[in-house]
Amino acid sequence: MKIEQFDVNRIIGITVYGERQSSYKWLPKKQKTTFFGLIKRNAWHSEGFYSNGCYKECYESGCWDATPSSKEWLIKSGYLVKADNTVWHRPYATVYLESDYQVNNSFERLEQVLEWVEDLKATCNKTFEIVKK
């Protein structure tokens, strides 16, 4: 494993975070409707991954059709997309250094995070607890 370029002797703590499910949900192609869903329009919502699992995005200023994200874009953005089309945040570790400095590193699997942390501990030759969240 590659050790990031920072002074490992300044490490004062490490927190490990496992995978967490994202708000992105896979939604199929769906016909758009009006008047409380009673009238079907000749327009469709595309299939794809929608933030918050909804075909609409709403803010204080109003609502509009959401734009779906592709699997490729989600992976490029650092998410894990599983075979069942669920979207997850990658597991990662936060290394706390003296002077309120932090280093974050994400991985494909939790085992890789733990291996990286053990390498850091061995390199800095310190003993401390690893907090898993």
Spell out the domain ranges in the chain: 8-19+90-132, 25-88
Is the predicted pLDDT of residue 40 greater than 80, yes or no? no
- 30: three-class secondary structure by DSSP: strand
Place 85 in a pLDDT band, splitting at 50, 70 and 90: very high
d(CA 73, CA 70): 5
pLDDT, averaged across the chain: 82
For 20-36, write each residue's pLDDT tens digit.
999 899 988 776 666 66
Burial class of residue 49 (count of CB atoms within 10 Å of its CB; 0-12, 13-18, 19+): buried
1-29 mean pLDDT: 81
Asked if pLDDT for residue 124 goes beyond 50, the answer is yes
Separation of alpha carbons 54 and 63, rounded Å: 11
Residues 3-11, mean pLDDT to the nearest whole number: 74
- Judged by phi (left if over 0) then psi (alpha if -120 to 50, else beta), residue 63 lies in beta
pLDDT score of 2 more than 70: no
Pair 73, 80: CB distance under 8 Å: no
What number is the average pLDDT over the span 41-66?
74
Provide the pLDDT for residue 32. 66
pLDDT tier at 1, thresholds 50, 70, 90: very low
Element (H, E) at 71: helix 71-76
What pLDDT, on a 0 to 100 scale, did the predictor assign at position 7? 79
pLDDT number for residue 74: 93
Asked if residues 56 and 64 have their Cβ atoms less than 8 Å apart, the reply is yes
